[in-house]
Chain A
């Protein structure tokens, strides 16, 4: 079976590995501390750990797109901003 059409590259492979590790990590965390520590944050509905991870990742994607569209192709700053955002989400949402 020829899978060369999938056209893997180093950076995208790392990207998906990181996502995979995050999901596995969340699974392990959930397994040992079940329940996902639900709470009602500033968005005024109940979120669990997994929800907060999802909001962080999705928000980061939009931060990167906005940076690309409004500022320029240097995405390291966008990445830094995303990390700050993710920390904020895990603290407040």
Chain B
């Protein structure tokens, strides 16, 4: 009986030592865990670096000698894009329809998201599901009739056609993201405002929209992004006047004897808008991709 107490404390000491050892080992692992994301990021950046590297080389250097950095940096490739209308008009076209799409999608999604987050109404769940299917539908399925539909309305090769067509997947996305943000706003705020005599439109614009400003920003960003990255529909609906930069690039790819340097420069320029705004949405990007459900 007398020597069992030291034995017990001995075991607990052993346990403490084991725990300390384990903690020390896991600390040692933890010290190097930053390497994992670091290596991952380096691997992510390699192909992008290669594109940037190529954009500063002349075509002769790209095809002639293999080098890890431009021996003779030149901005000639970028000059080609900024001076040739068939190149830079692609960017202008893309920006026009992307901005139009962003404005339309967010404007119509705002009231709808409010309805979904605050009320139950006839067929609401099925409506929500139907919207989801449009986000999930492959654009390839719609490519064929889209051309005819927009021809019938005389909209082929206009910016508004692409903007409306992209609403097919951007409006559902915007509704989801906004619904997620709106559900985080307590309902008491609405009720108080109505008691204070605010009409619905006035309440919505003056009180509610400032409260979900970050949500609107994130929704707009995702609309911008998905419209900017989409190629199939944009290419189907445009011929020359509204041709997006993406289509201009694929045309160049398929041509023989292409100019790699200019292609790389064009690619780099399409990455820049996303790279610039990413800072503002970094904390919400997971929420956006998860359809507002994180």
Contacts and interface: CB of A to CB of B under 8 A. Distances in A.
Q: Do chains A and B touch in the complex (CB under 8 A)?
A: yes
Contacts of B126: 50, 54
B7 interface: no
B152 A50 contact: no
Nearest to A30: B122
Q: Summarize B's interface: helix, strand, loop or mixed.
A: helix
B153 A1 contact: yes
Contacts of B122: 27, 30-31, 34
Nearest to B147: A5
A72 B125 CA distance: 37
Contacts of B151: 5
A67 to B, nearest CB: 23
B123 A5 contact: no
A3 interface: yes
A50 B126 CA distance: 7
Interface string A29-61: 011001000000000000010100010000000
A5 B152 contact: yes
Nearest to A53: B126
Interface string B122-141: 11011000000000000000
B123 A50 contact: yes
Interface of B: 122-123, 125-126, 148, 151-153
